[in-house]
A and B are shown apart, each in its own frame.
Chain A
Amino acid sequence: MIEVRGLTKRFGAKVAVNDLTFSVQPGRVTGFLGPNGAGKSTSLRCMLQLDRPEAGTCTFAGKRLDEYPQPLREVGALLDAKYVHPTRSSRNHLRYLAASNHLPVSRVDECLAMVGLTEVAKSRVGGFSLGMHQRLGLAAALLGDPQIVLFDEPANGLDPEGIIWIRNFMRYLAGQGRTVLVSSHQLGEIANTADALVVIGRGELISQGTVSEFVNRMTAAWVRVRSPQAARLAGMLTEARVSVASEADGALRVDGHDAAWVGELAGRNGIVLHELSPQQGSLEEAFLEATKGATEYHAGEPAGLGAMPPGPAPPSPSPSPSPSANARQPAPGAPLPPPPGAR
């Protein structure tokens, strides 16, 4: 359980985080989402007492980080995998961290084995690939077997295999009842991993709750209808002052009423329906809607290149399964997936 209360952090005149309040529940993966520059990393640093906020507190299971004599046993963090000394070996990196929190050296070797770095434990970290850095960072975060873990953009720079591995790792940790907070500006990363979301923009809280709550709140529900008599149905709907639009494949998009209402209308008028399906916006749509106007830097047109090709396509309104429907949490106690490339 993480509780952030009224966190405010300024850098000079710029307000990076403004009166941010949220809580993170144990037993699930919580995505910490926001566009670039929204204040995610600053918030995480303030939570870990690395940056000194102007106001606000953050408690982990009721206590501030500095109130724990051995904080690594409570809170593990992976802020940036490059926070290592290049001429130190990965084992020595973990050893000094372990020593500082009175953890045994055996735990260092356990963690190295867990992330698949045993064979390079004694090589200098300077020669590591980004993926290996990430794994070392993960080992460092889990060194004290903490109940709370924070990850800042853990998938940055990883190959697809590594991303899947780290995602499974996070689900596995949450499945064990731990509190997992993972920041990202990439939706795809979060969509298949997180159960809950904390969304911020320009340093302020936009939304928090489960993924489906977020999607429901931020996007409108609508009904997709396909019919050989689409034109007639559309005419009736328009007459009834219902918003209706044509989809690319000839289906109708009906806003403001549920599927039952549309089906009954069609039935009363003897219109044959080939499809009648309630639709919910995608997480992507919800995110774009939520952070509208909160993105730091908007892409402008490159000078001197004439007309730009059309910007990113609008979010596809095609049916999107509710993100929470995906298989999630492995059974508690399920064996940890082996890291990619583990030998």
Chain B
Amino acid sequence: MLDAVRAEWIKFRTVRSSVVLAFVIVLISVAPAILVASLSGTRSAIDAPANRVETLLIGVNLSNLLVGVLAVLVITQEYRFSTIRTTLAATPKRLRVLKAKAITLASICAVACIALLVVSVGVGALIFKLRDLPLTLSDATTWRIIGGTLLHMVTFALACLGLGTIVRSSAGGIVLALVWPIVAEPTTLAILNALKHGSWGKWLPFLAGGQLASASRDTDFLRPWPGYIWFAAFSAALLVLGAWLLNRRDA
């Protein structure tokens, strides 16, 4: 298993797309934190520490989308260039390949996200401090948001890996990873609301998962932890479906 993970790590870092995406992710994660910390008004709505931290993490949450793209590409590029056949001829136990991809991707995301959180919150807090707007990191909600951002990003990446494994095409996988959470679910929610079934919307998995990284408490949604657990279970289901298909389909 360790060998398979090493192979996946080499694969990940030796193609241009991942390097470029990683660079862009850093850029769009950190830049908004600096902007927000420097330019936000002194008496704006972000006075509560949790709200203030949340605004510092706008960029990190935005970069989720690119993390999703990256996760989709981890598997779909293998199909696009048929290296999946090279890979599976060397590792015929297919589930091992998918597990290795999941472990590698989750580790990369976790490390990257921790780094981005430290930099975003650190730089933001520093700038706030220089402007005499101290940022206290003592309350539970603040830490729930910081930890939630990390958990959500890793889980979202794994969900997208599952989606990519199911659809196998880069274009299809990327469209799904972008459209589902930011277009399809909000639209569905709006439709449900219009039909007076808004409470059903709390079961939309990606929206439910996002609650853990959010300071606002919208009572229409699942509470942060139940919401995250539902999202994690849904992501696991996507991965299991992907694994099942990977194992029975022709490569």
Q: Which residues of A contact B (CB under 8 A)?
A: 45, 48-52, 65-66, 71-72, 75, 77, 79-80, 82-89, 92, 95-97, 99-102, 140
Contacts and interface: CB of A to CB of B under 8 A. Distances in A.
B90 A83 contact: no
B81 A99 contact: no
B43 interface: no
Nearest to A82: B82
A86 B85 CA distance: 15
Interface string B77-97: 100011101111111110000
Given A83-B82, A88-B14, A89-B14, A96 B91 contact: no
Nearest to A124: B16
Given A52-B250, A66-B92, A92 B86 contact: no
13 contacts: A45-B85, A45-B250, A50-B89, A71-B92, A80-B82, A83-B83, A83-B86, A96-B7, A96-B14, A100-B4, A100-B87, A101-B90, A101-B91
Given A83-B82, A83-B83, A50 B15 contact: no
Contacts of B88: 48-50
A84 B89 contact: no
Nearest to B78: A85
Contact of A50 (B6, B11, B14, B251): B251
A84 B83 contact: yes
Contacts of B11: 88, 96
Contacts of B85: 45, 48, 50, 79-80, 83
Given A52-B248, A71-B90, A101-B90, A87 B6 contact: no
Pick from B3, B81, B90, B249 the residue with the most CB of A within 10 Å: B90
B10 interface: yes
A65 B92 contact: yes
A66 B90 CA distance: 9
Contacts of B199: none
Interface of B: 3-4, 6-8, 10-11, 14-17, 77, 81-83, 85-93, 248-251
Name the prevailing secondary structure of the B interface residues: helix
Contacts of A52: 248-250
A140 B10 CA distance: 16
A85 B10 CA distance: 13
Contacts, number: 85
A96 B82 CA distance: 15
A95 B9 CA distance: 11
Q: Looking at A84, A87, A99, A100, which has the most chain B CB atoms within 10 Å of its CB?
A: A100
Contacts of A79: 85-86, 89
Given A88-B14, A99-B6, A49 B83 contact: no
Contacts of B251: 45, 50-51
B202 to A, nearest CB: 40
Nearest to B93: A66
Contact of A102 (B3, B15, B93, B248): B3
Contacts of B249: 52
Contacts of A88: 11, 14-15
Nearest to B91: A100
B86 A71 contact: no
B249 to A, nearest CB: 7
Which 4 pairs of residues, A with B, have the shortest CB-CB distance? A100-B7, A66-B92, A92-B14, A87-B16
Nearest to A75: B89
A83 B250 contact: no
A101 B1 CA distance: 10
B182 to A, nearest CB: 28
A341 to B, nearest CB: 24
Contacts of B16: 87
B86 A99 contact: no
A100 B3 contact: yes
A279 B228 CA distance: 80
B90 A100 contact: yes
Contacts of A45: 85, 250-251
Given A48-B85, A75-B89, 19 more contacts: A48-B88, A65-B92, A66-B93, A71-B89, A71-B91, A77-B89, A79-B86, A80-B85, A82-B81, A82-B82, A84-B81, A84-B86, A86-B81, A88-B14, A89-B14, A95-B10, A96-B8, A97-B90, A100-B87
B238 to A, nearest CB: 22
A85 B87 contact: no
Contacts of A95: 10, 14
A107 B85 CA distance: 21
A82 B251 CA distance: 15
Contacts of A82: 81-82
B3 A99 contact: yes
B92 to A, nearest CB: 4
Given A71-B89, A83-B83, A85-B77, A97 B7 contact: yes
